[in-house]
Amino acid sequence: MDKVFVQGMKFYGYHGAFKEENELGQRFYCDVIMEMDSETPGRSDDLDDTVNYAQVYETAKEVLEGEPVKLVETLTHRTAVLILERFELVKAVTIKVTKPDPPIPGHYDGVAVEIRRERGFEKQ
């Protein structure tokens, strides 16, 4: 399978296990890797033959700026499910959601959850 990357998407959401996170909000980053056959769009040069990256962005935005949840794992899972549901060409997807400023002590580049899901999993 070929891989298509949509990386470094930035969002502002109200997710987190602490009340302050739900009230103040914070930044979230999202990277998406879609596994698909890109031979047809590679030959045709036609957007209708592939996945529209702007629509992938809007799908991630819907989750990451949408209904507040407690866990980064939930954001990652929901994003994977929606991408597999909406983009028929995608056979598997890897999603990484990063929370760069979690409210925990220490100096680091944040916390992240990365998952990979294959077509069919979202119906289970």
Task: Return the active site residues.
Answer: 99
What pairs with residue 117 in β-bridges? 93
